[in-house]
């Protein structure tokens, strides 16, 4: 089955800095890669996703890049703010909407 590795497990940055979270996947048939943000005690919230026919996608301060050859994808957050503090999960799917999640990255943004 699919295996998703996510790094780092914890990331601390100063407000205004950029943050990058990286994931690798094992199954080259995976074609959908969403990112979820989960604040403490709340639901996972879909923040951005990318499909295998696209190399990069951007939404305001958030961007995701995909390298199919290397089987890795990354989340980039620019101009971080304290409200970006949360746990971020990457995931991969081989169609059919069954997601395999990474173990999560706790992002801490200090004012």
Partner 1 sequence: DTEVTQTPKHLVMGMTNKKSLKCEQHMGHRAMYWYKQKAKKPPELMFVYSYEKLSINESVPSRFSPECPNSSLLNLHLHALQPEDSALYLCASSQETSGRAFEQYFGPGTRLTVT
1 near partner 1, rule: CB under 8 A? no
61 near partner 1, rule: CB under 8 A? no
Q: What is the DSSP letter of 90?
A: E
User: How far separated are the first and last CA of the chain, in Å rounded?
Assistant: 41
SS3 content of the chain, % helix, strand, coil (to 5): 5, 55, 40
101 near partner 1, rule: CB under 8 A? yes
- Interface of this chain with partner 1, residues 32 to 51, rule: CB under 8 A: 32, 34, 36, 42-46, 49
- Binding region for partner 1 (CB under 8 A): 31-32, 34, 36, 42-46, 49, 87, 89, 93-99, 101-104
């Amino acid at each position: 089955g699919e295996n998703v590795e996510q790094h780092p497990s914890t990331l601390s940055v100063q407000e205004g800095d950029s943050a990058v979270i990286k994931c690798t996947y094992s199954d080259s048939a995976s074609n959908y890669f969403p990112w979820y943000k989960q604040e403490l005690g709340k639901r996972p919230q879909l923040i951005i996703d990318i499909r295998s026919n696209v190399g990069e996608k951007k939404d305001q301060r958030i961007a995701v890049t995909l390298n199919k050859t290397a089987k890795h994808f990354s989340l980039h957050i620019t101009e971080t703010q304290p409200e970006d503090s949360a746990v971020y999960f990457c995931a991969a799917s081989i169609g059919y909407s069954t997601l395999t999640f990474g173990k999560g990255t706790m992002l801490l943004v200090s004012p």
